[in-house]
Amino acid sequence: MPLEKLKWVYLVVLSIVWGSSFILIKKGLVGLSAIEVGSFRIIFAAVFLILIGFRSIMKIKKSQWKWMLLIGFLGNFFPVYLFSFAETEIDSAVASILNAATPLMTLIFGAMFFKAAFNQNKILGVVIGLLGTAGLILSGASINPDQNYLYSLLVIIAASCYAMNVNILKTHMSSISPLGIAAGSFTVLLLPTLVILYFSGFFEKNLSNIVLQHSIGYVAILGVIGTGVAMIIFNKLVQISDPVFTTSVTYTIPVVALGWGILDGEVFSAWQLLSAFVILIGVFIVNRSKKVFSKFRKQAT
């Protein structure tokens, strides 16, 4: 299949997989703490990736492990825990929409640290996207007064981590296979995550509890499919497209996550829907070429 078509296939698959991740985090939090959900997600993903990617790991050069360490923490470790803590206070659908700020953050960090082009249309898109993000947080706080929407900032921080990660992947890791990147980055996370889980108090719980077992089951699916398999596809997508297109998966993730949220009884207001639409407009503008908007302005005048 031509790369131009293949990247869209990857984008759709990632949208479905990652869009379903937010409801799995929510279900995991029923019987587990945020730290336990994050830890098990990384552990399941790491074991899966190490088993299938051992040969790829052995091909990683010594000089490349510093980048593995960096993308492991930026692209997985910090975001995984940040999302788990965020969903203890905000709905899964809201978290997924806030995650749509990732392409905006990718553009900002790309311009700041990776010499990416930054024109007036992209600046406009960033401003609109950030206004939509602020609107989503404020409107959500008004209809869900029992939820602490300051936790929304954790999602924004996670989106920033993703943004830095995708720029690093494109700049420094293009010579490594997608499986090698995924397996290597999770290998460096396994030991610190096991230590965190040990001190989380999990092993003092009644492991025969059905609710606990169900939660672990949801996180197992999240770790293997939503993290392990998804990271392989994501790393491949990074290699065959540009960073902003890659993070455009966050356009469609909220559609899937919103559907799951509604089925699970989450409340979503018209103002939140409008704010989400504003975010997507901002991201759309960021991804349009300057020529498209120049042509539009000429036609308008």
Tell me, yes or no, whether 112 lies in a domain.
Answer: yes
Task: Report how far residue 214's alpha carbon sits from residue 296's, in angstroms, rounded to the nearest whole number.
Answer: 53
Task: Report how far residue 102's alpha carbon sits from residue 3's, in angstroms, rounded to the nearest whole number.
Answer: 23
Task: Report how far residue 258's alpha carbon sits from residue 238's, in angstroms, rounded to the nearest whole number.
Answer: 26
Tell me, yes or no, whether 107 lies in a domain.
Answer: yes
Range of the domain at 102: 3-288
Residue type, position 248, single letter: S
Tell me, yes or no, whether 96 lies in a domain.
Answer: yes
Give the per-residue pLDDT at 127: 75
Please list the pLDDT of the chain residue by residue as tens digits (301 residues). 677 778 788 888 888 998 899 899 999 999 999 999 999 999 999 999 999 999 999 999 888 899 999 999 999 999 999 999 999 988 887 787 778 777 777 777 776 766 666 567 667 776 777 777 677 667 666 666 777 778 888 998 998 898 888 878 877 777 888 889 889 999 999 999 999 999 999 999 998 999 999 999 999 999 999 999 988 888 888 788 776 667 667 767 777 877 787 788 776 677 777 877 777 777 667 666 544 444 434 444 4
Tell me, yes or no, whether 44 lies in a domain.
Answer: yes
Q: How many domains does the chain have?
A: 1
Tell me, yes or no, whether 94 lies in a domain.
Answer: yes
pTM > 0.85: no
Ramachandran region, residue 115 (left: φ > 0; alpha: ψ -120 to 50; beta: rest): left
Give the per-residue pLDDT at 40: 97
Tell me, yes or no, whether 298 lies in a domain.
Answer: no
Tell me, yes or no, whether 130 lies in a domain.
Answer: yes
Residue 162 contacts residue 110 (beta carbons within 8 Å): no
Tell me, yes or no, whether 299 lies in a domain.
Answer: no
Count of other CB atoms within 10 angstroms of residue 269? 13
